Amino acid sequence: MRLHEYQAKQVFADAGIPTPASGLAATVDEAVAAAEEIGYPVAIKAQVHVGGRGKAGGILLADDESEAREAATDILGMDLKGFTVERVLVEEAVDFENELYVGVTMDRGEGKPVAMVSTKGGVNIEEVAEEDPDAIAREHIDPAFGMHPYQARKAVYDAGVDSAVARDVSSVLTTLYQLWDEKDGSDAEINPLMITGDDEVVAADAVLNVDDDALFRHPDLQEMEEEGGFGGDELERKADEYDFDYVRLSGNVGIIGNGAGLVMTTLDLVDHYGGSPANFLDVGGGAKAQRIANALDMVFSDENVDSVVFNIFGGITRGDEVAKGINQALEQFDEIPKPVVVRLAGTNAAEGMEILNEDLVTVEQTLESAVQRAVEYADDVAGEEVDA
Amino acid sequence: MSVLVDEDTRVVVQGITGGEGNFHTEQMIEYGTNVVAGAVPGKGGQEVAGVPVYDTVEQAAVEEDADASVVFVPPAFAADAIFEALDAPVDVVVAITEGVPVQDMARVKRAEQESDTYLVGPNCPGVITPGEAKLGILPGNIFSSGNVGLVSRSGTLTYQVVDNLTERGIGQSTAIGIGGDPIIGTDFVDALQVFDEDPDTDAIVMCGEIGGEDEEEAAAYIDEHVDTPVVGFIAGRTAPPGKRMGHAGAIVSGSGTGTAESKIDALRDAGVPVGDTPEEVADEVEDLL
């Protein structure tokens, strides 16, 4: 899960990392009131999970009340790369001399956390990593010991941070690592960490992404997730309710399968045979009939979908349960909304084939032939739509 | 012959009294696996699926000579269970549990690197040597004994590829599901190494997917060290950046690392044929043998 900026800042501030004075607002009046209290100039920042908010117009500066009103009016309710802005953070605009980057993440290749510092803050750090990798000082942390104080200092000095603020930046990095560790972070970042003319350090942005698999031991973060609202579109919300691993794509062949690798392979095959996948949907292991019916409902809800390929290779998933679910989902329709191609293999596949109502679906024996058939159907439907 | 597990492997099941642990223990025994014990704290003295349960893995190792463990305990306790197995010690630990926190796995990895134990998983279907032993949840009936070693990050994709091989009458020496998490025990390089050293493995199939750089590292390793011919497959060519495709580890980062293209190129540069479809993978293997 990803915390919103205002939530991450609260967590950072509670841990002692300096952050600018700020207030959260859901209406223009609330935003103006917050700005008046903080004092101008202020930055008004959209609270949505979108990278590059500033460039997209989601962050505006205001020097007085009328500008604050105008900025809040522009940002609240705006559509930012598919997300509607419901809240803004109104924040003291920091007058800075320098911008640093500090972050902690898991280096999966090494299997170890890595702390990072760069004097090239304020820009997309992934671009810096690619174009000028030496501009980022990296210190791997032994997870058995945690970060030693010297490691924080070393990263800061290696990055070439000005010695006047090195101590304070080390302290911020140490706290950031502790938070990352304590909260089961996947990424914790401050970009930029601003250095003012008086050599004060201030976290002008805050990122804290948390491992979903560890949320069970962080009730406080679960609450923040609920309060922050669900970010995705309607279909992703639905997938969340049904508890599916679902990713919406732009094509017209709906895809349902079991197991991430096999579902990805099915997507790739759709592409290989000249079609275009509409989604990734993994029903997971051991799905029962109702879950299978939910998956079909999910894919039928996507108006871009022209045909569906159902590819199940049963290990702990049983073919008879899958067939029951498909029948259950399709028998409620007078007319099947979109052609469905089914391929069943593995555990109880033969039993499943017997149960499956072949008046409602097209059955194929192999993965390749099932995908080809679904692509043909999708082409036919898309063709008819063009004719009509 | 085979790698990691065979008919002599003596298995202790951690979490044998849970629903999954119980069911799959019966399945493993039915397949012919030599399951000798279960280990569940507080359940010592009981019997499940005809095998004795001990309170600790060490007791099972001492009393029943268990030398491999399969972990079915829930995610919150999985790391602890793996630590216990590493300390017992046993030679092989297969962790089936899905959803182990990544930071827990970083600590486990640290301990695993200092031990002589092979950890497979977590979030994996397990390891099977057809006709001898299966440690995990793989459907035994689709496998057949033969000379192709298989290593894969995905369970059901493994079944698909095995199915394509079996159709052509090509059997497997051992199949290792290494799991789809960002931090895992045995990786491609480890698996390639044991297969390459196995005189009865004449070809190796590796099924990778987007995310991380394990496949690229495997390609470099193959280029330098592996004599046994390898055929590759990479899932996720159509995956968009920044979206997690089911597995926690299957994600193309925003900066473009972990793409299918980079992995396919690395493998091909190392002389490894990469199939566009599972069918093509089987074709390549058939040509090689």
Find the CB nearest B180 among A129, A261, A316. A261
Asked whether the beta carbons of residue B106 and residue A271 sit closer than 8 angstroms, the reply is no
> Does residue B258 sit within a domain?
yes
Chain B residue nearest residue A217, CA to CA = B76
- B98, B123, B148 — which closes off a domain? B123
Alpha carbon distance B93, B119 (integer Å): 5
| Minimum distance, in Å, between the CA of residue A64 and any CA atom of chain B | 37
- Pairing mode, if any, of strands B145-152 and B172-177? parallel
SS3 state of residue A330: helix
Which residue out of A147, A268, A310 would a mutagenesis test of the B interface target, given it has the greatest number of B Cβ atoms within 10 Å? A268
B176, B254: one domain: yes
Confidence label for B168 from pLDDT (cuts 50, 70 and 90): very high
Asked whether the beta carbons of residue B159 and residue A109 sit closer than 8 angstroms, the reply is no
- Give yes or no for a contact between B185 and B151, defined as CB atoms under 8 angstroms apart: no
B160, B52: one domain: no
Residue with tokens 């486990």: B108
Asked whether the beta carbons of residue B250 and residue A264 sit closer than 8 angstroms, the reply is yes
Which residue out of A212, A273, A316, A375 would a mutagenesis test of the B interface target, given it has the greatest number of B Cβ atoms within 10 Å? A316
Q: How many domains does chain B have?
A: 2
- B123, B151, B179 — which closes off a domain? B123
One DSSP character per residue, A168-235 reads HHHHHHHHHHHHHHHTTEEEEEEEEEEEETTS-EEE---EEEE-GGGGGG-HHHHHHHHHH---S-HH
B180, B234: one domain: yes
Report angle CA A188, A191, A193 to the nearest 5 degrees: 105
Least confident of A209-213, A340-344, B64-68, B247-251: B247-251
Confidence label for B252 from pLDDT (cuts 50, 70 and 90): confident
Q: Residue A382, CB half-sphere, CA atoms under 13 Å: how many?
A: 15
Q: What residues of B are in contact with residue A245 (Cβ under 8 Å)?
A: 244-246
| Residue range(s) defining the domain that contains residue B8 | 1-123
| Minimum distance, in Å, between the CA of residue A359 and any CA atom of chain B | 27
Determine what percent of chain B is predicted with pLDDT higher than 70: 99
Chain A residue nearest residue B75, CA to CA = A213
B196, B106: one domain: no
pLDDT single digits (tens) B128-143: 999 999 999 999 999 9
Asked whether the beta carbons of residue A347 and residue B139 sit closer than 8 angstroms, the reply is yes
Tokens of B4: 């990691």
Alpha carbon distance A343, A266 (integer Å): 11
**Residue A132: its pLDDT value, please?**
86
| Minimum distance, in Å, between the CA of residue B62 and any CA atom of chain A | 28
Alpha carbon distance A183, A357 (integer Å): 49
Asked whether the beta carbons of residue B278 and residue A265 sit closer than 8 angstroms, the reply is yes
Superfamily of A21-92 according to CATH: ATP-grasp fold, A domain (3.30.1490.20)
**Residue A116: its pLDDT value, please?**
96
Alpha carbon distance B171, B184 (integer Å): 27
B114 and chain A: CB distance < 8 Å anywhere?
no
Residue B96 scores a pLDDT above 80? yes
> Does residue B160 sit within a domain?
yes
B101, B175: one domain: no
Asked whether the beta carbons of residue B212 and residue A282 sit closer than 8 angstroms, the reply is no
B197, B267: one domain: yes
**Residue A232: its pLDDT value, please?**
63
Asked whether the beta carbons of residue A262 and residue B154 sit closer than 8 angstroms, the reply is yes
Domain boundaries, chain A: 21-92, 96-228, 234-378
Active site residues of B: 247
B169, B287: one domain: yes
Asked whether the beta carbons of residue B155 and residue A144 sit closer than 8 angstroms, the reply is no
Chain A residue nearest residue B102, CA to CA = A211
| Minimum distance, in Å, between the CA of residue A378 and any CA atom of chain B | 18
Asked whether the beta carbons of residue B153 and residue A261 sit closer than 8 angstroms, the reply is yes
Q: Which of B117, B195, B113, B109 is nearest to B151 (CA)?
A: B195
Confidence label for B196 from pLDDT (cuts 50, 70 and 90): very high
Asked whether the beta carbons of residue B253 and residue A127 sit closer than 8 angstroms, the reply is no
> Does residue B130 sit within a domain?
no
SS3 state of residue B168: coil
Asked whether the beta carbons of residue B238 and residue A267 sit closer than 8 angstroms, the reply is yes
B238, B150: one domain: yes
Chain B residue nearest residue A185, CA to CA = B103
Chain B residues 201-240 within an 8 A CB cutoff of chain A: 207, 209-210, 212-214, 217, 233, 235-240
pTM of the entire predicted model: 0.93
Asked whether the beta carbons of residue B245 and residue A263 sit closer than 8 angstroms, the reply is yes
| Minimum distance, in Å, between the CA of residue B63 and any CA atom of chain A | 31
Average pLDDT, chain B: 95
Task: Tell me the backbone φ, ψ of residue A354, rounded to 5 degrees.
Answer: -70, -35
**Residue A352: its pLDDT value, please?**
92
| Minimum distance, in Å, between the CA of residue B236 and any CA atom of chain A | 5
**HEC letters along A129-160:** HHHCHHHEEEEECCCCCCCCHHHHHHHHHHHC
Average pLDDT over residues B259-276: 96
Q: What residues of A are in contact with residue B101 (Cβ under 8 Å)?
A: 184, 211, 213-214, 217
Tokens of B196: 């390459």
- Pairing mode, if any, of strands B35-39 and A362-363? unpaired
CATH of residue B275's domain is: 3.40.50.261
Q: Alpha helices, DSSP H only, in chain A? A: 5-14, 28-38, 65-75, 125-131, 149-159, 163-182, 219-228, 234-242, 260-272, 289-300, 319-331, 349-355, 367-387
Chain B residues 48-107 within an 8 A CB cutoff of chain A: 75-76, 99-107
Q: What is the pLDDT along chain A (388 residues), one digit of tens a residue?
A: 889 999 999 999 999 999 999 999 999 999 999 999 999 999 999 998 877 788 889 999 999 999 999 999 999 999 887 788 999 999 999 999 999 999 999 999 899 999 999 999 987 787 888 888 889 999 999 999 999 999 999 999 999 999 999 999 999 999 999 999 999 999 999 999 999 999 999 999 999 999 999 999 999 999 998 887 755 677 888 898 899 999 999 999 999 999 999 999 999 999 999 999 999 999 988 888 899 999 999 999 999 999 999 999 988 888 899 999 999 989 888 888 899 999 999 888 999 999 999 899 999 999 999 999 999 999 988 777 766 5
B160, B94: one domain: no
Interface size between A and B, measured as CB pairs under 8 A: 173
- B123, B149, B172 — which closes off a domain? B123
Say how many Å lie between the first and final Cα of chain B, rounded.
Answer: 17
B216, B101: one domain: no
> Does residue B272 sit within a domain?
yes
C-alpha pair distances (Å), B154 with each of A354, B1, B160? 28, 24, 10
**Residue A231: its pLDDT value, please?**
59
B113, B192: one domain: no
Q: Which of B112, B142, B126, B1 is nearest to B72 (CA)?
A: B126
Asked whether the beta carbons of residue B159 and residue A272 sit closer than 8 angstroms, the reply is no
Asked whether the beta carbons of residue B110 and residue A111 sit closer than 8 angstroms, the reply is yes
- Give yes or no for a contact between A204 and A193, defined as CB atoms under 8 angstroms apart: yes
Q: What residues of A are in contact with residue B106 (Cβ under 8 Å)?
A: 106, 111-113, 143
| Minimum distance, in Å, between the CA of residue A129 and any CA atom of chain B | 9
Which residue out of B112, B156, B161, B243 would a mutagenesis test of the A interface target, given it has the greatest number of A Cβ atoms within 10 Å? B156
| List of residues 6+ apart from A358 with CB closer than 8 A | none
> Does residue B128 sit within a domain?
no
Q: What residues of B are in contact with residue A247 (Cβ under 8 Å)?
A: 239-240, 243-245
Class of domain A96-228: alpha beta
CATH no., domain A234-378 = 3.40.50.261
| Minimum distance, in Å, between the CA of residue B213 and any CA atom of chain A | 7
Find the CB nearest A213 among B75, B156, B160. B75
CATH of residue B79's domain is: 3.40.50.720
Reported ipTM: the value is 0.93
Same fold, A21-92 and A96-228: no
B277 and chain A: CB distance < 8 Å anywhere?
yes
Q: Residue B21, CB half-sphere, CA atoms under 13 Å: how many?
A: 25
B10, B75: one domain: yes
